[in-house]
Structure 1
Amino acid sequence: MTQTHRVPIADAGTGTDSESPTVVAVHHEADSDDWLVFCHGLRSDKSGSYEQRCRRAVDEGYNAVRFDCRGCGESDGGFVESTLETRLTDLRHVVDYFDLDSYALFGSSFGGKVAFHAAAADERVTAVATRAPVTTAGTFDEYRVAVERDGEWSFDTGERLDQRFFDALDRHPFDDVVATLAVPVAIFHGGADAVVDPADSFDAARRLETDVCLERFAGEGHRFSQAGERRLRDRLFGWLEWADR
C-alpha cells in the first residue's frame, strides 16, 4: 500500500505554520519496523527509478519513503531556492514526520551528498548507500564559473542556480562527513559516468573511516541502464541485509 503525504517545513523562514511550504512524500508501507528513505538528485524527483526502488524495498521488508525536495516535482518552492541546506532540512522534516527511531538512507548523485551529510549528523541513521554521489564541490565548477560571471546559471529546462547554492555547498565540505560518519557505507558508481567522476568515489572510500563497500559498474553512465538499475537494486539490498540488520 502507498500513501501520499504533504509534509510542512515549519522552519523554512516563511513565518507561521499556516504559511509553511510543504514537500510531497510517498510512503510505501511494509509490515516492519525497518525504514529506508530515498534522496533524489539535483534535477531529479521522487518518480521513476525511486518508485521501483521503493517497491523492491517493500518486498525486502522495508517501509520505504521517497519525496520531492522543495523546488522539485510536486513540492512547493522554486528550484533556485533548493540548496544543500534546504534539502537537508526537508529530509529532516520528512523523517520527523514519520517519527522514525532509526532508518537507512539511499541517495543518488547530489542526493548522495545530502544522504552523507544527513547520516553524519543524525544518530538515527543506521546505514547509508549512494549511487554516483557528489563528494567534491568541483563537480559543479562549470556552474560556479557562470554564476560568478553572470549571477546565475540556467539549465535548458529553465531551472536556475545562483550564489545561494554555492554558499551552502561551501559550508558543508566532505571533510565534515569524514570526521564524523560512523555507520556502514555503500557506494555504487558507473564506470562511464561523465557527470560525477568515478575517481571521486574511490577517493571518498579511501578517506572514510568506517566500513565501505565500493562497486564500479562497468559501462554504466550517470544514468544507469535498465539492466544496470536491476543490478543496483540487487546489490543494494544484498548489502543492506548485512549492514542494516
Structure 2
Amino acid sequence: MPESHDVPFERTAIETDSSPTLAAVHHESDSDDWLVFCHGLRSDKSGSYERRCRRAREAGYNAVRFDARGCGESDGEFVDSTLEARLADLRRVADYFDPDSYALFGSSFGGKVALHAAAEDDRVDAVATRAPVTTTETFDEYRATVASEGEWTFDTGERIDRRFFDALDRYPFADVVGSLAVPVAIFHGGADDVVDPADSFDAARRLETDVLVERFAGEGHRFSAAAEDRLLERLFGWLEWAGNRE
C-alpha cells in the first residue's frame, strides 16, 4: 500500500509538529530504483500522478509523488511556490527518502523543475518530461499583468506575483544546456496550446546529451487516456534503456 509522509520543507533548529510540511506519497518497491514525480504549476500529486506511480511500481520502481508548497495537501501559500521554492521542495523530498540515485519525471512547469534539478543534483541519472516549460515566454500573458498590477490571480484564486518571475528569470534554460549530462526524454502533444511543442524540439536541439523527443499528434496540454497509456509504455521502455546504457 502507498505510504503517506510529511516532509518538513523549512529547516529549523527543532522541527516540531507545527513545522510546515510537504505531503508526499511513497509507492514502495523491493528495488533500488527510484522515480520521483514533479507536478505542474497548478496541479498536485493526485489523479494522473497516482496512476503513474502505480505503473512505476509495477515496473519495479520506488515511486514518489508529492505536493509542492501551497499545492494540494502541502502547507504554505501558492504565491510562495516559485521555481526556487519548488526546487528546494524537490531537494527536501529527495533528501528525505535518500536514494543513492533516482530518475525524475515532470509535467509542464514540473518539467522545468525536473530539468533544473537534474542539472544540479548528481544523484539524478535520467529525466523525463511531458510538455516541459523551457522558455519564459510561456508566461508572458501573466508577466504583463504582474508588471502593471503587481500580481496575477487565476480563476481558482491562486496568485503569482513578481517573485514568480524574478525566480523564473534566475533560471534560464541555458543553465540546463550548459550543465545537464544525463539522458532526457521529452513527450509533447502536437496540439498543445499552452506550451508550444516547438519549444521542446528547440530544447532538444540545444541540449548536449542524449535526447528522445516524441510528438503525440492531436494531443493537447492534457493527454487523452489512450495517449497517457502510450506515454507510460514509452516512458518505462526509455527508462530501461537509460538505466542499461554504457
User: How does the TM-score come out when normalised to structure 1?
Assistant: 0.97
What corresponds to 1:9 in structure 2?
A: 9
Q: Distance in 2 between matches of 1:152 and 1:3?
A: 37
Equivalent runs, 1:198-237 vs 2, <5 Å: 198-237=197-236
1:160 matched to 2:159: yes
1:151-210 CA-partner distances (Å, limit 9, x unpaired)? 100000000010000000000000000000000000000000000000000000000000
What corresponds to 1:21 in structure 2?
A: 20
Give yes or no for contact 1:153–1:162 (8 Å, CA) kept in 2. Answer: yes
RMSD of the alignment, in Å? 1.0
| Deviant stretches of 4+, over 4 Å | none
Q: Distance in 1 between matches of 2:3 and 2:213?
A: 33
Q: Distance in 2 between matches of 1:17 and 1:218?
A: 48
Identity of aligned residues (%): 77
1:60-109 CA-partner distances (Å, limit 9, x unpaired)? 00000000000000000111110000000000000000011100000000
Q: Distance in 2 between matches of 1:58 and 1:156?
A: 35
Specify every segment of 5 or more residues in structure 1 that has no aligned partner in the other structure, as ranges: none
Shift of 1:227: 0.6
What corresponds to 1:240 in structure 2?
A: 239
User: How does the TM-score come out when normalised to structure 2?
Assistant: 0.97
What corresponds to 2:140 in structure 1?
A: 141
1:199-232 CA-partner distances (Å, limit 9, x unpaired)? 0000000000000000000000000001111110
**Count of residues in correspondence between the two structures:** 243
Give yes or no for contact 1:10–1:16 (8 Å, CA) kept in 2. Answer: no
Q: Distance in 1 between matches of 2:27 and 2:9?
A: 21
Which amino acid letter does the alignment assign opposite residue 193 of structure 2? A
Q: Distance in 1 between matches of 2:19 and 2:165?
A: 24
1:106 matched to 2:125: no
Which amino acid letter does the alignment assign opposite residue 55 of structure 1? R
